C-alpha cells in the first residue's frame, strides 16, 4: 500500500497542546509513530500556553472560554485536549452546567504528572512556605500554576491567608521575581529549572496530574487507541527522558539547555479511568475555592467511554 493510501486509511483526530511538560506523551506518540500504529492520524494543534517563552496574553484572559485553546475547541477546531486536573474540572463543569458552550467531558486521568514549584529570590529572605502568609504569589489565574499553588500552600497556612496575583506568563513571573516586584512565583518546568539556574530558591514542589477532556464526537474506541499510544509514549519517556527533554527545554527560548533540566521532574504514566471518588474529591475542592459553579455531577461531567 502506498504511503498516500495508508495515510488516507488512518482516522484523523485533532488534539490541542499548550505546554510540553503537560503534553509530552502526545508529542512522543506522534513522533514515534505510536498513534499511527493504532490506525490514527493525530494532528496536534499547538496553541500558546503560559509556559512558552513567546506566549501572548490570550492564554490569560479572565473568561477561560476566550483563551486560545478553549476558543478553538468551542469553534470545533479540535476534538480533544488536556490540562491540569482542576483546570479540566473547571472547563468541563462550566461547559455542562452553563449555556452557550460546546460540552466537554472528562474522559481520563491523563498521562503527564507535571511538576510545579513555588520559588523565591534568595534576596527576599524567605526560606519556608509559612513566610508567605498574606504575601501575593505570582500565578496565571485558572491554570495549573494557580490551582497547584493553592493545593500546596493550604498545607501550611490558612485559606484566607493565601494570596495570589496575576503576573502573566511564566517568563514574566520569573522576571518580576528577579526584579523584586513579587516575593514568590508559581512555576512549571522548564521554568523551575531556569529559576534554579538563576539562583532562585524552591520553597515547595508538587506534581499536578493532567486530565483528558473530549467532545462527544470523539468515540470510545478512538479514545482507547489514543490512550494506548500515550501509554506507550509514557513508558518510552520514563525509560529515556533525556531523549525527549528537548521539547521542554525549547519552551524556555534558549535560557536553559537540556542538560540543565532535572530529568526526575519528567514523570508520565498510562491514562486511566477517572473515578467517581476522584471526581467527588476534586470537584468539592474546586467548588470550595469558588472556582466552579455548583450543580455538576459525576454523570454529567465524566465519561470513561474509552474503557466501556
Q: Are 85 and 209 in contact (CB under 8 A)?
A: yes
d(CA 65, CA 106): 17
User: Who has greater pLDDT, 236 or 7?
Assistant: 236
What's the pLDDT tens digit per position in 166-207? Answer: 998 899 999 999 999 999 999 999 999 999 999 999 999 999
Residue found under cell 519528567: 266
Confidence of residue 120 (pLDDT cuts 50, 70, 90): very high
Cβ-count burial 240-270 (b if 16+ within 10 Å, e if not): ebeebbebbbebbeebbebeebeeebbbbbb
How many of the other CB atoms lie within 10 Å of CB of 288?
A: 10
Confidence of residue 90 (pLDDT cuts 50, 70, 90): confident
Q: Is the pLDDT reported for residue 219 higher than 70?
A: yes
Q: Are 126 and 183 in contact (CB under 8 A)?
A: yes
pLDDT for residue 50: 63
- The CA–CA distances, whole Å, from 224 to 7, 155, 229, 273 equal 20, 36, 9, 11
Confidence of residue 63 (pLDDT cuts 50, 70, 90): low
d(CA 133, CA 307): 44
Confidence of residue 98 (pLDDT cuts 50, 70, 90): confident
The grid cell for 148 is 497547584
d(CA 33, CA 28): 8
- The CA–CA distances, whole Å, from 200 to 111, 121, 156, 197, 268 equal 29, 5, 21, 7, 26
Average pLDDT over residues 10-33: 92
Q: Are 170 and 187 in contact (CB under 8 A)?
A: yes
Q: Is the pLDDT reported for residue 239 higher than 60?
A: yes
d(CA 183, CA 201): 11
Reading across the β-sheet that carries 40-46, which strands appear in turn? 40-46, 11-17, 80-84, 201-214, 105-120, 184-188, 136-139, 163-166
Confidence of residue 54 (pLDDT cuts 50, 70, 90): low
* Residue 46 backbone phi and psi in degrees, to 5: -85, 125
d(CA 175, CA 289): 28
Confidence of residue 151 (pLDDT cuts 50, 70, 90): very high
Q: Is the pLDDT reported for residue 223 higher than 90?
A: yes
List all residues 6 or more positions away from 290 whose beta carbon is below 8 Å from its beta carbon: none
Amino acid at each position: 500500500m502506498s504511503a498516500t493510501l495508508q495515510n488516507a486509511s488512518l482516522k484523523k483526530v485533532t488534539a490541542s497542546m499548550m505546554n510540553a511538560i503537560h503534553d509530552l506523551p502526545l508529542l512522543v506518540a506522534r513522533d514515534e509513530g505510536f498513534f499511527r500504529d493504532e490506525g490514527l492520524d493525530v494532528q496536534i494543534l499547538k496553541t500558546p500556553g503560559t509556559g512558552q517563552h513567546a506566549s501572548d496574553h490570550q492564554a490569560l484572559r479572565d473568561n477561560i472560554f476566550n483563551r486560545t485553546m478553549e476558543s478553538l475547541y468551542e469553534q470545533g477546531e479540535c476534538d480533544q485536549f488536556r490540562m491540569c486536573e482542576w483546570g479540566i474540572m473547571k472547563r468541563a463543569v462550566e461547559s455542562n452546567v452553563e449555556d452557550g458552550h460546546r460540552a466537554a467531558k472528562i474522559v481520563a486521568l491523563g498521562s503527564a504528572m507535571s511538576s510545579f514549584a513555588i520559588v523565591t529570590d534568595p534576596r527576599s529572605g524567605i526560606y519556608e512556605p509559612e513566610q508567605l502568609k498574606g504575601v501575593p504569589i505570582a500565578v496565571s489565574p485558572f491554570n495549573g500554576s494557580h490551582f497547584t499553588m493553592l493545593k500546596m500552600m493550604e498545607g501550611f497556612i490558612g485559606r484566607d491567608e493565601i494570596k495570589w496575583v496575576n503576573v502573566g506568563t511564566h517568563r514574566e513571573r520569573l522576571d518580576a521575581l528577579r526584579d523584586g516586584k513579587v516575593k514568590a512565583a508559581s512555576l512549571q518546568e522548564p521554568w523551575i529549572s531556569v529559576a534554579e539556574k538563576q539562583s532562585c530558591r524552591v520553597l515547595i514542589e508538587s506534581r499536578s496530574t493532567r486530565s483528558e477532556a473530549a467532545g462527544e464526537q470523539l468515540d470510545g474506541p478512538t479514545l482507547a487507541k489514543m490512550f494506548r499510544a500515550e501509554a506507550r509514549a509514557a513508558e518510552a519517556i520514563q525509560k529515556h527522558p533525556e531523549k525527549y527533554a528537548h521539547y521542554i527545554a525549547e519552551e524556555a527560548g534558549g535560557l536553559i539547555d537540556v542538560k540543565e533540566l532535572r530529568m526526575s521532574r519528567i514523570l508520565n504514566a498510562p491514562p486511566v479511568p477517572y473515578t467517581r471518588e476522584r471526581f467527588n474529591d476534586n470537584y468539592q475542592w474546586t467548588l470550595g475555592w469558588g472556582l466552579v459553579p455548583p450543580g455538576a455531577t459525576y454523570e454529567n461531567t465524566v465519561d470513561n467511554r474509552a474503557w466501556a
